[in-house]
Every structure is written in structure tokens, then in C-alpha cells.
Amino acid sequence: MYVCFDLMYSVRLFTIHPQWLVFVVLFLLSDLSFYLFHRTSHGVGWFWSSHYVHHSAKQYNLLVSFRQSWTGQISGQPLFWMWLPFLGFDPSWVYIAYAIGLIYQSWLHTELIGKLHPVFEFIFNTPSHHRVHHGSNMKYLDKNHGGIFIFWDRMFGTFQKEEEKPDYGLTDKKEFNSVTSLMFHGWKDLFTKVYCAKNIFTKLKYLIKPPGWSHDGSSKTVKQMRQVSD
């Protein structure tokens, strides 16, 4: 990822000199980048093929934060932060802001911490908010994509407060026999659909449409499932 940042900085539009106020702005923009990446990972089949690994756990604890795909960095994740060094932010600072965001999110994966002070819950991502994100309940699907700050979800209409206990895991509750099958099942499933599609436009749709999209209605997206349930 840092190599990508350094490359974009070499063709930067401006040179933004590091100082504390600049880092505050960068920190917010980096977290916005995470929100956009995270929301895209749930809304585009290509990115979901990697991200679903993190949502496959049926139990929710701190170990889930380490349940990450082997292919995240090579499937396009750095693209969502590369605009920052291109603008002129120092690559080292961009990487530090990105890393802080990941470290912060580790403590969110627990059922031991209930809801916190309302002011904190309004501004920051918390275990309560993130439990919703990992829930496979219909009302919880594709909600609370924020990294450090939850106000992105409030701003962009993807916030859902925790109500009933989340049912963790994937919607199909698929079992995996090995780590390798877990890591590559999403890609195998995606490319099988692309291969079997009859024309180039349908093949492309499987890559860019939301997870669950199918040309024949054999599977459904979250939006389609909500329409049926309503």
C-alpha cells in the first residue's frame, strides 16, 4: 500500500507541508476513505469477494478483527486512499492515519461492552454500532460502515442503531472446511458466475453489481431481499 501512496505522491497536484492541523484534516479524510471503501466492499461484487471473509464468523469477539482476507491489498483497497497523496499529503502521514483507523477498530469486535455515553455513540464507532454491522438480520445488513467515526453513516443514510441481538455471520450461514476454502470461496463463486454468463455485459455486471445480483433472479441483493420482505 505504501508503494502506491509513494507513487501517487510523485505526481502530486500540490505539496501539503505536514503540521498538526493538516494531520487533523488528513485524519478525517482518511476515515472518510475507509467509509467509502467499506461501503463499496458491501455494494460491489468484486470487493465483496474479498471482504466477506471478515463477516464469515458466527461468533463475535476480538479474534474477528484478525479475520481478514488474504487478497484485500491486491483487490483494490489502496485505491480508496491514493487520492490523498495525489492531492499532496505526505505518504507517511497518510499511512499513519490509515493504520490508526485499523488499530482503533480492533476493540469494536466484542459483546462485552454495551452502549457507551450517548455523545460518544453519536460521534464515534463503538462496539454497539459495529455489532450491527456484523449482524445478518435484515435490518442490520449493509449498515454502519464507519471506521473511527459513525457520523459518516448518519450523513449518508447508512446508520442503524443496535436493537435486537445481532445474528452474526453470512446470510447463507455457509460452512468452510479449511482456511483456504474460506479465503478463496468468494473469488471462486464470482468467477464461476462470470465464466458462465453468456455475454460480456452480464459478465461485467457480476463484477460491479452488489453481492447476490443474478441475471436470472436465482439469488438476490440486500435491496431486493428488503423489497420482498416488505
Q: What is the average per-residue pLDDT within 202-218? A: 96
pLDDT in tens, 92-142: 999 999 999 999 999 999 999 999 999 999 999 999 999 999 999 999 999
pLDDT tens digits, residue range 25-41?
A: 999 999 999 999 999 99
CB-based burial, 51-62: b 16+ in 10 Å, e otherwise: bbbbbbbeebee
125, 159 Cβ separation under 8 angstroms? no
Joined together, the cell numbers standing for residue 54 give 471478515
Burial of 144 (C-beta count, 10 Å sphere; 0-12/13-18/19+): buried
DSSP state of 172: T
Give the 3-state secondary structure of residue 203: helix
**What is the mean pLDDT of the segment spanning 185-201?**
96
More confident residue, 52 or 1: 52
**What pLDDT sits at residue 228?**
84
| Average pLDDT value for the chain | 96
pLDDT at 115: 97
For residue 121, give Cα distances in angstroms to 36, 97, 190. Answer: 20, 21, 36
Q: Is the pLDDT of residue 1 over 90?
A: no
Is residue 161's pLDDT more than 80?
yes
The secondary structure of residue 149, as a DSSP letter, is: B
Q: Which residues contact 182 (CB under 8 A, 6 or more apart)?
A: 53, 56, 176
Q: How does residue 2 score in pLDDT terms, banded at 50, 70 and 90?
A: confident
**pLDDT over 90, % of the chain:** 94
Beta bridge partners, 124, equal 149
| Grid cell at residue 14 | 500540490
Cell of 31: 476515515
pLDDT at position 230 is 67
Using only the alpha carbons of the chain, give its radius of gyration. 18
Q: Return the residue matching grid coordinates 441481538.
A: 165
